[in-house]
Structure 1
Amino acid sequence: MKFAVIGGTGLIGSRVVKDLNAAGHEAVPHSHSTGVDVVSGQGLDEAVAGADVVVNLTNSPTFDEASPAFFRTSMDNLLAAARKGGVGHFVILSIVGADQVPELDYYRAKVLQEELLAAGPIPYSIVRATQFMEFVDDVMSWTADGDTVRLPATPIQPIAAKDVAAGVAEVAAGAPLNGVRAIGGPEIFTLDELGRITLSHKGDSRTVVTDPTAGMFAVVKGDVLTDKDAHLAATRYADWLP
């Protein structure tokens, strides 16, 4: 099969392209660097022409109130191009529990993206993943101050980017789900605990202070984790740490 991977040069997209090509498919990456702009629509018709499946892995440049507009415009443009090109399956990557955290602009934006896809004209699949292991350093940097990192005790189920990509590639190569598949890591930590594990492994002497008001994940109430029907990856956090 032929796949047009939009956002195919990024953290997940580049791995999805590699996995699909290794499985004998033809996966072509598209991004700003290849002349494709999902907001203006530039290059989209050409990118999806002849593709059996479109995998959309583009992301909003911000996590704030501007993110819903990005997803609405990009999905409208991509769905129009995919319909014109006769695409038979459209796949996106979303977030486990996005619909449970309306306080976050970005999570609301991802729910909007899901709704636009489900209401569209093309058979679809939504892959919802838990938080990426690769983002733990970024999360800590948001609330770092001198020798202290402040983190809430929010439950986190980290998954490695390579496992996210494998999950997306598997779904993309299959029949449309017309629904959602959730994927996550094999372990659950609190975010403050995960911060301490990470700093200790790196020999970083900074102290993690548990602060229920710190950072973006402070607004997450309860357990935004996978349920019993989710597909759990094999990579454990301790084995992933470099």
Structure 2
Amino acid sequence: MKIVVIGGTGLVGRQLVGDLAGRGHKVVAASPSSRVDSITGEGLAQAFAGAQIVVDVSNAASLAEDEVLAFFGTSATNIAAAARKAGVKHVVVLSIVGTDRLQTSGYFRGKQAQESAVAQSGVPYTIVRATQFFEFLSTIADGYTRDGVAHLPIFAVQPVAAADVAAALADVALSEPVNDVTEIAGPERASVVDFVGTWLGHRDDPRAIVSDEDAGYFGAPADDRTLVPGDGARLLPTRFEAWLAAQPAQEQA
């Protein structure tokens, strides 16, 4: 079976491509570096020719609000149109748990635009909302650091290993479309300050940590419900301690 992975050279994309190929499928890792551009539409028709499944794990290059909205809306619209024309049987989109609850964030509005474009396109689809990746903890720490102090939020999160996300996406891609949203998450729930603080300690990072009950999610108000999955979510196996043990301990901050 031919499967196209949009964003197939990124963190999740590379692992997804390897997983699907390991299951015996012909996989195309599509990205601008392979002359497939979902914004301009260049190369989509050629990449999708003969494909049964398309998985979109692409991400915006900029976090600027206008650019994020333009990227996700335009990209999803072009992908859906090309998939419909090529007769693709299943389009899978990787999104974020809490997208519908965090619409004060420009990035999450972009993800909502992506979801809506696919859902309204008429192509068979599944939207997979995942929680934050363990691999994103350093970015979170840096985003909340001022003058050498990490002012970290106390609201709950339930992060997940990127490798688990890739494996779950492969399972979803090879299943029937649900034409709806499904959620995946890690097996453990704790506060942002607990997860990020443990990560910084593992790295022997010298910055001080302060719990900040007023800190939202990168400027958007958030609470214990905002970024955690619902009761029907699929919980993936890798625990934080096991993931942490596999990471280099002595990184320079």
Fold in common (TM above 0.5): yes
- Structure 1 unmatched ranges of 5 or more: none
Look up the match of 2:233. Answer: 230
Look up the match of 2:37. Answer: 37
**Greater mean alpha carbon deviation, residues 169-178 or residues 75-84:** 75-84
- Structure 2 unmatched ranges of 5 or more: 248-253
Match of 1:213 among 215, 226, 229: 215
Q: How many residues align?
A: 242
Q: CA deviation at 1:238?
A: 1.4
Q: CA deviation at 1:170?
A: 0.5
Relative to 1, partners in 2 of residues 1:82 and 1:47: Cα closer, same or farther, differing over 3 Å?
A: same
| Secondary structure class of the residue paired with 1:29 | strand
Look up the match of 2:54. Answer: 54
The one-letter code matched in structure 2 to 1:221 is D
Q: CA deviation at 1:116?
A: 1.1
Q: 2:156–2:223: 8 Å Cα contact kept in structure 1?
A: no
Tell me how large the CA RMSD over aligned residues is: 1.4
| Secondary structure class of the residue paired with 2:3 | strand
Look up the match of 2:250. Answer: none
Given the alignment of the two structures, is residue 11 of structure 1 paired with residue 14 of structure 2, yes or no? Answer: no
Q: 1:152–1:218: 8 Å Cα contact kept in structure 2?
A: no
Give the Cα–Cα distance (whole angstroms) in 2 for the partners of residues 79 and 218 of structure 1.
30
Deviations 1:202-231 (A, max 9, x none): 222321111223661652233121122111
The one-letter code matched in structure 2 to 1:129 is A
Look up the match of 1:20. Answer: 20
Q: CA deviation at 1:82?
A: 1.0
Q: 1:71–1:110: 8 Å Cα contact kept in structure 2?
A: yes
Q: 2:157–2:228: 8 Å Cα contact kept in structure 1?
A: yes
Structure 1 residue ranges, 4+ long, deviating more than 6 angstroms after superposition: none
| Secondary structure class of the residue paired with 1:208 | strand
Question: Identity across aligned pairs (percent)?
Answer: 42
The one-letter code matched in structure 2 to 1:236 is R
| Secondary structure class of the residue paired with 1:92 | strand
Deviations 1:97-136 (A, max 9, x none): 1101111111111111111111112100111100000000
Correspondence 1:41-120 to 2 at 5 A:
41-66=41-66, 67-120=68-121
Look up the match of 1:166. Answer: 167
Q: CA deviation at 1:39?
A: 0.8
Give the Cα–Cα distance (whole angstroms) in 1 for the partners of residues 150 and 84 of structure 2.
47
Given the alignment of the two structures, is residue 136 of structure 1 paired with residue 137 of structure 2, yes or no? Answer: yes
Look up the match of 2:242. Answer: 239
Q: CA deviation at 1:145?
A: 3.0
Give the Cα–Cα distance (whole angstroms) in 2 for the partners of residues 209 and 221 of structure 1.
17
Q: 2:158–2:186: 8 Å Cα contact kept in structure 1?
A: yes
Deviations 1:54-96 (A, max 9, x none): 1111111223322111111111211121111111111100011
Give the Cα–Cα distance (whole angstroms) in 1 for the partners of residues 71 and 164 of structure 2.
26
| Secondary structure class of the residue paired with 1:121 | coil
